């Protein structure tokens, strides 16, 4: 029955892009309190859209941080419940001077749309919202119960989402989770079956009580920036192998089966590196694609310290700062790895420097979707039908902390069904989204909803499926 | 005859501090164009003061950057000419949040005055200006011809001062230079007889065309900040020895005579490091004081790159930046050392990173005052008379690029006669000046002018001494 929905959507691309423009205009940067108004306007935009779609029971769920938005359609008694997930927050637009168009004005150039969030996640979640709207408009109903949860803290590690589940666990109860977040590697047919975890650390190094004149003190004492450079350089060897003890335990190294799966995807490394004018770096015993999805990382996200203004200031800086994130693979515990990095840094800290390492923003373990997940089976079927080929299973190098939270709090697994591409440049200046990605998404999402409806119709009703009661209505 | 001048000044401390307050209130940061108004107000302040002192022929000398201020008193025909040097520009006040009092409001706490420039150089040059004013007021004349030159680019390496000399060489002609700039190590009696040179470098490292998502790319490619950390860490070994080839040539290493001179000063290292809560770092084969005045340095003054705002931004930064200065000792050519550091960085640059190293702000070689310089002899005499001890000769770890320029352009050597102390924290937040330094300076400057007058009276007139003609009046 999804054909009619897809046809309904086919002529609507321009109209949908206009709505995406209004959504991108909400400058919803969760990391920076200066963007509170943009966060509020993004919530208002979604509340209005969800109401137009025909969702009910709309409400904000406040866990003490940026509230999440909830809505539902629970008119399929006895059927399982599908939770559709997205996030309305975006990464900071910095560095502003590198944007060629205003970050919060969606700008079309050729076959792409430019703006912060154009891809991650406003573009991909627009596909989800429009698909739901068209489905209900054309079919009058969904083939199973449906809930939406759009959070506002994905880009900062979803710190208050667990609390939202603790407060509203019954309301959010679901059997399956379909995520509008998560990208694809650029090849069809492929299905995301897992992602890496993450931890975040902030380092402060202090070597003196105040900045010192580099002439009157230079040569006698520690320079916080020099010490920070040594400290950060100690994390990797020359080829980019991680040197943190306990981070490359043999138990987490890729199996030959995993490596074969990745090899099957046949990433064109030259083309991959050409998209960002970069070069391969990392353990040469593995391919770039293996390093991307099967191995952990330690990346420096930011460093600051000393004088960074125009001209010179001849000082020995007293303090240096750095932000670090590490991506984790299956079998790595976020807390244990954070401790391992902390131990490494403390051991490598030059004597005479005072180091503080703090974790922040919440960690998340890596995630793997079980092979028998109904959404995975449904997605496999529609991609075979669409492309005539068996989709390959791919893991994702990024992190969707919510997948772990959904498994822990709902006991439900998550299919990532986002349509971002590597060329989108998410998190960077000039983020963009291919208009073709919108078109593809608007075909696949209705088909997937239809297909999961068919699958659940074949199966026994989910245990305790009483959606009205679950919704607390 | 200086006793009357000293007496005249003794009751004026409060009044002089009020004038210093007005001078500090001129936010004259030469490095940052945003402070242009503060630079102009500092020039206006000085023009008014020099006019009050009784100097003539006042004018701005414009070399294309921040103009210098000139004035003279040329009523000692046949006598040599003394050029008094100071600078009206100050270091940037960053980091602003570390100031306990507003940087441009001179604030008295206990026996110290706090504010940017309170010591360097507005405090020490206030001593010079007030001494000249009192001398002329009490004595009605100077014992030799006198010129003042206060520049506005000392803190940025005096880039246009050579041009000012090229344009106004005759006007500036002088036999002796007395500098109100330069500090002392905190012990009397001691005389500054030299300083280190300086070069300034800025590094830009680029590893990709744009910032990359640390999940979608992490593990595959270069991180500009990781590469920058490796690059900067390569400049020194663990103990702080410089690893740049050509920077520690045996010909520039301290002689045993130089080391003995420094040892004679008996710096209390524990007390020295306690003033800034720091620890010794550097080649342990030398004492901290030796490293400070007899050895070169390479110091990182600032690093920036990636995301440095609140929360996290999970990127692999594409670019990293650093500012470096190196202090030079006798026998080191600024251009040659800049090239040596550049070669080292280029050789150490990780393959896959694109490095640009540029020198800026002008370099200056180290400087040594000849032992028979009349100002040095005069200062030696007054210090012996005041303290009953033979003053020791000390070298200064900082850089006064003007000393090299004066030697090159005027053929004249410079006695540094500033009264700053290590505890002043110049260039750092909460810079301060001891009120006792003002009192000591106001005794020593008039005595020195008097003494140099006595010395030149004993000597034959300087060659070609025709001050009016020299002034172009």
For A322-350, how does the pLDDT look when each residue is reduced to its tens digit (9 = 90+)?
999 999 999 999 999 999 999 999 999 98
Predicted confidence band of residue B188 (pLDDT cuts 50, 70, 90)? low
Mean pLDDT of B199-220: 95
Question: What's the mean per-residue pLDDT of chain B?
Answer: 92
C-alpha distances out from residue B222 to A184, A248, B154, B428, Å: 22, 19, 39, 35
pLDDT at A159 over 80: yes
Mean pLDDT of B252-263: 93
Predicted confidence band of residue B467 (pLDDT cuts 50, 70, 90)? very low
What is the CATH number that goes with domain A200-253+295-359? 3.30.70.360
Domain with CATH 3.40.630.10 in chain B: 2-195+366-471
A224-238, A381-395, A405-419: segment of lowest average pLDDT = A381-395
Smallest Cβ distance to A156: which of B295, B312, B320?
Answer: B312
- Among B313, B338, B425, the strongest candidate for a mutation testing the A interface, having the largest count of A CBs within 10 A, is B313
CB-based burial label for B238 (10 Å; 0-12, 13-18, 19+)? exposed
Residue numbers in B near A351 (CB within 8 A): 279
- The pLDDT, as a whole number, for residue B457 is 87
pLDDT at A241 over 90: yes
Question: What's the mean per-residue pLDDT of chain A?
Answer: 92
| Structure tokens, B261 | 């001179």
Residue numbers in B near A312 (CB within 8 A): 31, 155-157, 200, 301, 323, 325, 360-361
* Inter-chain residue contact B397 with A228, CB threshold 8 Å: no
pLDDT at B430 over 80: yes
Mean pLDDT of B202-207: 98
For B151-161, the pLDDT digits (tens) are: 999 998 788 99
Residues, chain A:
473
- The more confidently predicted of residues A467 and B246 is B246
Interface A-B: count of C-beta contacts within 8 A: 386
| Structure tokens, B332 | 């080191």
For B328-376, the pLDDT digits (tens) are: 999 999 999 999 999 999 999 988 899 999 998 778 899 999 999 999 9
* Inter-chain residue contact A301 with B302, CB threshold 8 Å: no
For B384-417, the pLDDT digits (tens) are: 988 888 888 888 888 877 888 899 899 999 998 9
- The pLDDT, as a whole number, for residue A187 is 55
pLDDT at A462 over 90: no
How large a percentage of chain A has pLDDT more than 90?
79
d(CA B80, CA B176): 8
pLDDT at A460 over 90: no
Mean pLDDT of A204-215: 95
Mean pLDDT of B22-33: 97
Cis-peptide into B95, omega within 30 deg: yes
Predicted confidence band of residue A121 (pLDDT cuts 50, 70, 90)? very high
Measured in angstroms, the CA of A325 and the nearest CA of chain B are apart by 7
Residue numbers in A near B419 (CB within 8 A): none
- The pLDDT, as a whole number, for residue B469 is 37
- The pLDDT, as a whole number, for residue B182 is 77
For A72-101, the pLDDT digits (tens) are: 999 999 999 999 999 999 999 998 999 999
d(CA B263, CA B265): 5
- The pLDDT, as a whole number, for residue A182 is 77
Measured in angstroms, the CA of A378 and the nearest CA of chain B are apart by 25
Three-state SS for B106?
Answer: coil
- The pLDDT, as a whole number, for residue B185 is 67
- Among A120, A212, A214, A288, the strongest candidate for a mutation testing the B interface, having the largest count of B CBs within 10 A, is A214
d(CA A306, CA A224): 9
CB-based burial label for B257 (10 Å; 0-12, 13-18, 19+)? exposed
* Inter-chain residue contact B301 with A312, CB threshold 8 Å: yes
d(CA B217, CA A62): 33
* Inter-chain residue contact B214 with A280, CB threshold 8 Å: no
- The pLDDT, as a whole number, for residue B363 is 86
- The pLDDT, as a whole number, for residue A186 is 65
- The pLDDT, as a whole number, for residue A40 is 98
* Inter-chain residue contact B429 with A304, CB threshold 8 Å: no
Q: Which CATH class is domain B2-195+366-471?
A: alpha beta
Beta pairing partners, A364:
A198
User: Which residue in the block uniquely carries the two structure tokens 């991909």?
Assistant: A124
Mean pLDDT of B102-127: 97
- Closest chain B residue to A92, measured at CA: B313
| Structure tokens, A330 | 């299956």
* Inter-chain residue contact A208 with B276, CB threshold 8 Å: yes
Mean pLDDT of B120-129: 97
CB atoms within 10 A of CB A469: 12
pLDDT at A467 over 60: no
Query: What architecture is domain B198-253+295-359?
Result: 2-Layer Sandwich (3.30)
Measured in angstroms, the CA of A200 and the nearest CA of chain B are apart by 8
Report angle CA A274, A276, A279 to the nearest 5 degrees: 65
pLDDT at A37 over 50: yes
Smallest Cβ distance to B225: which of A278, A303, A351?
Answer: A303
Which candidate, A122, A422, A285, A126, places its Cα nearest to that of B217?
A422
* Inter-chain residue contact A218 with B397, CB threshold 8 Å: yes
User: Which residue in the block uniquely carries the two structure tokens 């192998």?
Assistant: A241
Measured in angstroms, the CA of B150 and the nearest CA of chain A are apart by 20
- Max distance between CA atoms of chain A, in angstroms, equals 81
Q: What phi and psi, each to the nearest 5 degrees, are found at residue B291?
A: -65, -30
Predicted confidence band of residue A465 (pLDDT cuts 50, 70, 90)? very low
Measured in angstroms, the CA of A455 and the nearest CA of chain B are apart by 32
* Inter-chain residue contact B220 with A312, CB threshold 8 Å: no
Measured in angstroms, the CA of A142 and the nearest CA of chain B are apart by 33
CB atoms within 10 A of CB A321: 19
């Amino acid at each position: 029955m999804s054909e009619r929905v897809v046809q309904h959507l086919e002529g609507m691309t321009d109209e949908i892009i206009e709505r995406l423009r209004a959504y991108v205009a909400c400058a919803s940067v969760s990391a920076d309190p200066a963007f509170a108004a943009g966060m509020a306007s993004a919530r208002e935009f979604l509340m209005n859209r969800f109401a137009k779609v025909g969702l009910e029971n709309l409400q904000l769920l406040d866990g003490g941080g940026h509230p999440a938005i909830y809505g539902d359609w629970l008119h399929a008694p006895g059927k399982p419940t599908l939770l559709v997930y997205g996030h309305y927050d975006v990464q900071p637009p910095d560095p502003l001077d590198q944007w060629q168009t205003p970050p919060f004005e969606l700008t079309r150039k050729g076959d792409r749309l430019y703006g912060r969030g154009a891809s991650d996640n406003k573009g991909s979640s627009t596909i989800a919202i429009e698909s739901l709207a068209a489905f209900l408009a054309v079919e009058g109903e969904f083939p199973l119960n449906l809930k939406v949860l759009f959070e506002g803290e994905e880009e900062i590690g979803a710190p208050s989402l667990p609390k939202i589940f603790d407060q509203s666990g019954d309301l959010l109860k679901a059997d399956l989770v379909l995520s509008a977040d998560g990208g694809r590697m650029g090849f069809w047919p492929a299905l995301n079956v897992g992602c890496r975890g993450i931890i975040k650390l902030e380092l402060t190094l202090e070597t003196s009580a105040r900045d010192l004149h580099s002439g009157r003190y230079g040569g006698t004492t520690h320079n916080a920036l020099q010490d920070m450079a040594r400290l950060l350089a100690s994390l990797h060897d020359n080829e980019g192998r991680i040197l943190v003890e306990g981070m490359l335990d043999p138990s987490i190294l890729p199996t030959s089966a995993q490596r074969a799966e990745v090899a099957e995807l046949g990433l064109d490394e030259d083309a991959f590196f050409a998209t960002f004018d970069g070069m391969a770096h990392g353990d040469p015993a593995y391919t770039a694609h293996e390093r991307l999805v099967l191995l952990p990382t330690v990346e420096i996200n930011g460093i600051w310290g000393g004088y960074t203004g125009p001209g010179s200031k001849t000082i020995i800086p007293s303090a240096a700062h750095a932000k670090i994130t590490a991506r984790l693979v299956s079998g790595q515990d976020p807390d244990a790895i954070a401790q391992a990095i902390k131990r490494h840094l403390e051991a490598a800290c030059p004597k005479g420097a005072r180091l503080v390492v703090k974790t922040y923003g919440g960690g998340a373990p890596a995630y793997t979707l079980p092979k028998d997940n109904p959404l995975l089976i449904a997605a496999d079927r529609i991609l075979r039908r669409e492309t005539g080929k068996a989709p390959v299973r791919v893991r994702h190098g990024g992190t969707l902390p919510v997948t772990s939270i959904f498994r822990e709090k709902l006991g439900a697994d998550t299919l990532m069904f986002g349509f971002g591409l590597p060329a989108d440049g998410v998190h960077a200046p000039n983020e963009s989204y291919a208009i073709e990605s919108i078109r593809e998404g608007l075909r696949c999402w209705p088909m997937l909803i239809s297909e999961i409806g068919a699958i659940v119709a074949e199966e026994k009703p989910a245990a305790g499926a009483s959606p009205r009661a679950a919704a607390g209505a």
